[in-house]
Chains A and B, each alone.
Chain A
């Protein structure tokens, strides 16, 4: 079996994946987006930029992350062999650092010294603050007031790293509103500020650019599984909020049609209730944060608040490439409820000694269902997108409520 690297799909000239994507932003930002696209393409073509990023990923973040066989979980489940792609072992504790290192270097290359970012659970905020510190840049992080409350430890980490955390009090006071506020700030300071978006969302070129900074996850996984097993996995599972860890993982396997890809959204208190974040499962096409994609909205086109026990999945939109992959049927999108995610946290912690992030636990919950149906020769890979240290309070409160 040869290790091949598939070419990423490029968005078209309007920045679309199929009919999704585009640039639905105030005119003030259009020139900045065009400059970003030019800057990004020029950086990608520059061997020195690629080498610098690769070195930072290896020597600063600790890549490649391992692909761990979950031996006891596999035995307990009694079906397919379960592997974990250990993005939790990255510096700062999640896959988010892959993208922030990429965008941080790009910002510096483009001569911008001020970074802004939005964050939900705080992982992207921490990764952005980290990169700002590393590169000697200013950093402002917009975070919904509700998330500031839920993720106090991460707020402190960001401040310790020298970033300014700006609590957002509008709307639902979560990631959606933090993103609105970050865009508003960017509109006002577009000439000297780089907006470091944390997922494969937002106007073109962000979805494609962030995907390309995250595809290292899938590229590594693909070669690691080939090395360990001599063949490709049967199932690959990742959680989907905005969808950056998932698209980073899936991209390497899109052309391997024997590999079934599963994106797991947060069903919160259940998709039959209105307390969920299952955008692809229960949403409909529309425009959010500069992109045409699936979103949670009412019949009049007002964006609805999302809910999940995981602040990182609590987002009413999703990356436009996921919307396209859903419509093309290449990826199966499903859901896991809050309670299932909590059970998965407990199970993985006790069987493997690994405390997953609540986001990643959604993928674990689905993977266990798939593994049970598989035979011992089959392989399930889970993208363990981050570690759960940041979530211990939510997990404790959640488990007490079960």
Chain B
């Protein structure tokens, strides 16, 4: 599969950035996808904005609210992915969506549309293993990976959750919602090591990771890191400039710098 291949390619950054599609606009999101593709990240998480994102902290929640208020829907995010592919983006694209928009779209229709739009996988934060088995099978039939999440509280659930994982396993670094953190809980490293030991596919760790020190540290215990809120907040801060064709170039360069800085001095995946 494309996601696992990206982890194993050896020439990609061990970084999986998350961006909220449509914040500040779908055009800017497309620019961001192209930038991240050029930087050769392992995969891009494309967040579908949702009215009630209960796994998300304030930064992504606000980005989601702004995008929803502009009428960004699951359908338009799928179209965005298709456009990105038509423009030559080759990085694996992972749809990050809450379950209700998917249910409303129709699960079977969604996996078909997602596949034909060039998506490689999906993360559904409110669809735990027990509830997601049918959908995981449907996705698999279309060659798509439903990325499972495991949390420090998963304990004996870990083996079951990762046993049939495809793509990668998303390890939640700490209790709580998404958002930047200064400190991570004790015990996170052994948890990550356990997941890595049992997982048949690469592991990535997310929630709270915003700096290159974090990235460096966590890459000792996982195959990739997810950076979400820090990037979403940077895009928010530069939103006006990113939408202004005269001032865009400098803003894009600064975001590129942030991405490079995150993984600077970090070894690529062996």
Interface residues of A (CB under 8 A from B): 14, 22-32, 170-171, 176, 180, 183-184, 187-191, 285-290, 295, 297, 299-303
Is B83's CB within 8 Å of the partner chain A? Answer: no
B52 contacts partner chain A, Cβ-Cβ < 8 Å: yes
Question: For the complex, is B61 an interface residue (Cβ under 8 Å from A)?
Answer: yes
CB–CB B153/A190 < 8 A: yes
Contacts A25-B128, A32-B153, A303-B52; is A188 near B175 (CB within 8 Å)?
A: yes
Per the bound structure, the CA–CA distance linking A75 and B68 in Å amounts to 53
CB-based contact B176/A187 at 8 Å: yes
Chain B positions 60-108 with a Cβ under 8 Å from a chain A Cβ: 61, 65, 68, 73-75, 98-105
Q: How far is the CB of A86 from chain B (nearest CB, A)?
A: 36
Would A24 and B153 count as touching, CB distance under 8 A? no
Q: CA A302 – CA B100 in complex, angstroms?
A: 8
Among candidates B105, B149, B157, residue contacting A26 with C-beta atoms closer than 8 Å: B149
Contacts of B149 in A (CB 8 A): 26-27
Say yes or no for B144: interface residue by CB 8 A criterion: no
Find out whether the CB atom of A14 lies under 8 angstroms from the CB atom of B130. yes
Give every chain A residue within 8 A of B102 (Cβ-Cβ): 301
Once A23-B130, A26-B149, A30-B128 are accepted as A-B contacts, the answer to whether A299 and B104 lie under 8 Å apart by CB is: yes
Q: Does B127 contact A (CB under 8 A)?
A: yes
Rounded to whole angstroms, the CA-CA distance of A25 and B154 in the bound complex is: 13
Which residues of B229-257 are within 8 A (CB) of A? none
Say yes or no: is B36 at the interface (Cβ < 8 Å to chain A).
Answer: no
What residues of B have a CB within 8 angstroms of the CB of A188 in the complex?
A: 175-177
Query: How many angstroms between the C-alpha atoms of A187 and B151 in the bound complex?
Result: 11
Out of B103, B104, B150, which one reaches A27, CB within 8 Å?
B150
CA of A295 to CA of B153 in the docked complex: distance in angstroms? Answer: 30
Q: How far is the CA of A299 from the CA of B74 in the complex (A)?
A: 11
* Distance, CA A25 to CA B128, complexed state (A): 7
- Residues in B whose Cβ lies below 8 Å from that of A190: 153, 175
CB A316 to nearest CB in B, in angstroms, measures 9
CA distance A26 to B150 in the complex (A): 9
> How many angstroms from the CA of A288 to the CA of B52 in the assembled complex?
8
Check if A286 sits within 8 Å of B100, measured CB to CB.
yes
Measured CA separation A295–B104 after assembly (Å): 11
Inter-chain contact B68/A302, CB cutoff 8 Å: yes
Tell me whether A24 and B131 are in contact (CB under 8 A). yes
Given the complex, which residues of A lie within 8 Å of B101, measured CB to CB? 300-302
B117 to chain A, nearest CB (A): 16
- Report chain A residues within 8 Å CB of B7: none
By beta carbon, the residue of chain A nearest B153 is A31
Complex Cα gap A295–B101 (Å): 12
Whether A286 contacts B52 in the complex (CB less than 8 A), given A23-B130, A187-B175, comes out as no
Contact B104 A26 (CB under 8 A): no
Nearest CB to that of A284 among chain B residues? B104
Q: Which residues of B contact A183 (CB under 8 A)?
A: 54
When the two chains form their complex, are residues B54 and A180 in contact, meaning their CB atoms are under 8 A apart?
A: yes
A170: chain B residues at CB < 8 Å are 61, 65
B220 an interface residue at 8 Å Cβ cutoff? no
C-alpha spacing A73/B154, complex, angstroms: 56
A287 and B175 contact, CB distance less than 8 A: no
Q: Given contacts A28-B153, A28-B172, A30-B154, is CB(A23)–CB(B52) below 8 Å?
A: no
Give chain A nearest CB distance to B20 CB in angstroms.
14
Q: Chain B residues with Cβ under 8 A from A29's Cβ?
A: 153
Q: CB < 8 Å: which of B52, B98, B131 contacts A176?
A: B52
Contact A303 B51 (CB under 8 A): yes
CA gap between A184 and B54 in the complex, in Å: 6
Residues of A within 8 A of B99 (CB): 24, 287
| Chain B 120-163 near chain A by CB (<8 Å), digits 1 or 0 | 00000111111100000000000000001111111101000100
CA distance A170 to B60 in the complex (A): 12
Q: How distant is B182 from chain A, measured CB to nearest CB, in Å?
A: 15
Bound Cα distance from A23 to B191, whole angstroms: 24
- Nearest A residue (CB) for B73: A300
In the complex with contacts A26-B151, A30-B154, A30-B157, A287-B54 CB distance below 8 A: no
For A28, the chain B residues whose CB sits under 8 A away are 151-153, 172, 175-176
Q: Which residues from B are CB-within-8-Å of A287?
A: 98-100, 103, 126
Cβ–Cβ contact A26 & B126, under 8 A: yes
* A185, B231: Cα distance in complex, Å: 23
- How many Å from the CB of A39 to the closest CB on chain B? 16
Q: Is B50 an interface residue (CB 8 A)?
A: yes
B127 close to A24 (CB less than 8 A): yes
